[in-house]
Amino acid sequence: MQSRRAGKIKPFIAMELLARAGELEASGRDIVHMELGEPDQSAPGHVVKAAFQAIKEGYTTYTPTEGIHELRRAVSGHYAREYDVELDPDRVFITMGVSPALFLVFSFLLNPGDEVVIHEPYYPPYPKCISYLGGRVRSVKLDRTDGFAIDLERMLASVTGRTKAILINSPSNPTGMIADREVLTGLADSGITIISDEIYHRITYGVKAASILEFTDNCWVLNGFSKVYGMTGWRLGWVICPRDALDQLKAVHQNFFLSANAFVQKAGEAALTGPQDFVSDRLEIYNQRRIYLIESLAKLGWRLGSEPQGAFYLLADISSTGLDGLTVSRRLLEEAGVAVTPGLDFGELAGDFIRFSYATDLERIKVGVARIRRWLERF
Binding site for ligand PLP (CB under 6 A): 37, 97-99, 123, 169, 173, 197, 199, 224, 226, 232, 237
Phi, psi of 93 (to 5 degrees): -120, 120
Measured from the CB atom, the residue of 200 and 302 that comes closer to ligand PLP is 200
- 91 near 246, Cβ under 8 Å? yes
Measured from the CB atom, the residue of 152 and 195 that comes closer to ligand PLP is 195
Measured from the CB atom, the residue of 113 and 233 that comes closer to ligand PLP is 233
**Shortest distance, CB of residue 301 to ligand PLP, whole angstroms?**
28
59-95 as b/e, with b when 16 or more CB fall inside 10 Å? beeebebbbbeebbbbbbebbeeebebebebebbbbb
Measuring CA to CA, how many Å separate 86 from each of 14, 141, 188, 213, 222? 39, 34, 17, 10, 17
**Shortest distance, CB of residue 27 to ligand PLP, whole angstroms?**
28
Cβ neighbour number for residue 363 with a 10 Å cutoff: 9
- From 197, 239, 199, 191, select the one nearest 216 (Cα to Cα): 191
Measured from the CB atom, the residue of 224 and 342 that comes closer to ligand PLP is 224
**Shortest distance, CB of residue 102 to ligand PLP, whole angstroms?**
7
**Shortest distance, CB of residue 152 to ligand PLP, whole angstroms?**
20
Reported residue count of the chain is: 379
* Percent of the chain that is helix, strand, coil (3-state, to 5): 50, 15, 35
Tally of CA atoms within 13 A in the half-sphere of 336 that contains its CB: 25
- From 139, 256, 254, 238, select the one nearest 196 (Cα to Cα): 238
- 220 near 194, Cβ under 8 Å? yes
Measured from the CB atom, the residue of 263 and 312 that comes closer to ligand PLP is 312
**Shortest distance, CB of residue 34 to ligand PLP, whole angstroms?**
14
**Shortest distance, CB of residue 197 to ligand PLP, whole angstroms?**
5
Measured from the CB atom, the residue of 97 and 305 that comes closer to ligand PLP is 97
Measured from the CB atom, the residue of 99 and 193 that comes closer to ligand PLP is 99
**Shortest distance, CB of residue 120 to ligand PLP, whole angstroms?**
13
Cβ neighbour number for residue 171 with a 10 Å cutoff: 27
Measured from the CB atom, the residue of 163 and 226 that comes closer to ligand PLP is 226
**Shortest distance, CB of residue 276 to ligand PLP, whole angstroms?**
19
- 176 near 316, Cβ under 8 Å? no
Measured from the CB atom, the residue of 79 and 200 that comes closer to ligand PLP is 200
Rounded to whole angstroms, how far apart are CA atoms 113 and 159? 14
**Shortest distance, CB of residue 379 to ligand PLP, whole angstroms?**
30
Of all residues in the shown chain, the one whose CB is closest to ligand PLP is: 97
Partner residues linked to 139 by β-bridges = 118
- 260 near 94, Cβ under 8 Å? yes
